[in-house]
Amino acid sequence: MSQPQIPVVKKMWIFLFLLCVYTLCSADQYRQRAEKLMKETPLIDGHNDLPWQLLLRYHNQLSKVDLNKLNGTHTNIPKLKAGLVGGQFWVAYTPCDTQYKDAVRQTLEQIDVIHRMCQKYPQTFQCVGSSTEINTAFNNGKVASLIGVEGGHSIDSNMATLRLFYQLGVRYMTLTHSCNTPWVDNWLVDTGDDPLESNGLSEYGKKIVLEMNRLGMIVDLAHTSVKTMDDVLQLSKAPIIFSHSSAYTICNHKRNVPVEILKKVSEKRGIVMVNFYNEYVTCKPTAELSNVADHFDYIKKIAGYKAVGFGGDYDGVSRVPVGLDDVSFYPDLVAELLRRNWTDIEVKAALGDNFLRVFREVEQVKFNSPGNDEPIPFEQVQSQCRTGYGYPNNGTPLVLLPTVVTLVYLAHYLLV
């Protein structure tokens, strides 16, 4: 007796049902595997601008905000927990228009609010200053909280300020933001929007990089010109980072890292921490999670899996990809990497092992010495907002003294 035939339409529906079940099970498998890895290895993100939002919204008055209930930002405590964030560089940022004015004070206020975040929410945040302390905080179930200063204009061309920032917990400095300083060129030089001034690093800029090596402060090359990148990669005695940049080949934006620099980053044992800002991901106002994963794949292909990390730039940008709406979505990106056949070792490297290796090597280069106490030449920083105490004749360059003396005698002769 023949068996009844299943209609073709019914077969198609059965096939589609089984396909959906398989797809959902596979998605759950990658997500579960991602969460497992993130609970074993801290996801250390290189750049988050929540402190800037606290300044804009509350003038840094933490008494007026509850980070457990904060709305309208990419970051709050529940989102950090859902995103399984294990370590975070909170950014002490002040805009370029503070340069030559109150940049140091503004930066100090941002450093202060990060410390106060740790003090107000000790069950969530633990401020740390070393690679060992990151692991300790992670093992204690806390978000290991580090401080990065974004923009060399924040030190006002002053070695003492750089050293004091380190003592206050700053563990990386981005050499520029979107402006030149008297000693280094920013990325807008490459677009033609800013003039070439230092041709990368000036002589004083080289001394600052070496002083950062001596201190054990990580050099961050995000926002710098390509010539600056190249100069630092040749000079620095320790590995460097790009705290929030992506791959130029994927998106031809000058904020991204060109292929020749990626190769040098690999040789220097540094890392590029991928930025999520749509314009740096797709060079368009829109992007998706898969587009960000493309940058991870490309950097891994060119520089190796040991040269990649996460640098979301949350709360510092206006547009982020669909599927990476806030910090709670990190596990979805990790799951996408696993779906693309990244191994557990490769994923753990990108999560935090790569950054921890860089940080340890920076700490190993650090050494005790009095440090560089040579001031920048006064004529390079002279302005109405700066006094010249400590410089000869309060800042009057010695080479100008004969001219000044001549003018004084000439004026006296004409008046008598």
Among 192, 189, 184, which residue's Cα sits nearest to residue 212?
Answer: 184
Q: Please write the tens of the pLDDT for every residue from 2-43.
A: 555 666 656 566 565 555 444 555 669 999 999 999 999 999
Same domain assignment for residues 66 and 130: yes
Same domain assignment for residues 145 and 282: yes
CA count, 13 A, side-chain hemisphere, 337: 31
pLDDT band at residue 372 under the 50/70/90 scheme: confident
How far is the C-alpha of 68 from the C-alpha of 48, rounded, in Å? 17
Q: Please write the tens of the pLDDT for every residue from 35-71.
A: 999 999 999 999 999 999 999 999 999 999 999 999 9
Same domain assignment for residues 82 and 129: yes
Same domain assignment for residues 399 and 310: no
Q: Please write the tens of the pLDDT for every residue from 234-269.
A: 999 999 999 999 999 999 999 999 999 999 999 999
410: domain range? 386-415
In a domain, 402, yes or no: yes
List C-alpha distances in Å: 392 to 313, 361, 374, 380: 44, 40, 14, 15
In a domain, 1, yes or no: no
Same domain assignment for residues 340 and 403: no
Question: N- to C-terminal Cα distance for the chain?
Answer: 134
Percent of the chain with pLDDT over 90: 85
CA count, 13 A, side-chain hemisphere, 327: 32
pLDDT score for 395: 61
Active-site residue set: 47, 49, 150, 177, 223, 244, 313
Same domain assignment for residues 251 and 322: yes
The values of phi and psi at residue 99, to 5°, are -60, 140
Same domain assignment for residues 207 and 254: yes
Strands (E), 320-399: none
Q: What is the pTM of this model?
A: 0.89
CA-only gyration radius of the chain, Å:
25
CATH label of the domain that carries residue 283: 3.20.20.140
Token pair recorded at residue 344: 């557990």
44 bridge partner residues: 87
The 10 Å CB-count burial string (b at 16+, else e) for 377-391 is: bbeebbeeeeeeeeb
Do strands 308-310 and 218-220 pair parallel, antiparallel, or not at all (unpaired)?
unpaired
- Counted domains in the chain: 2
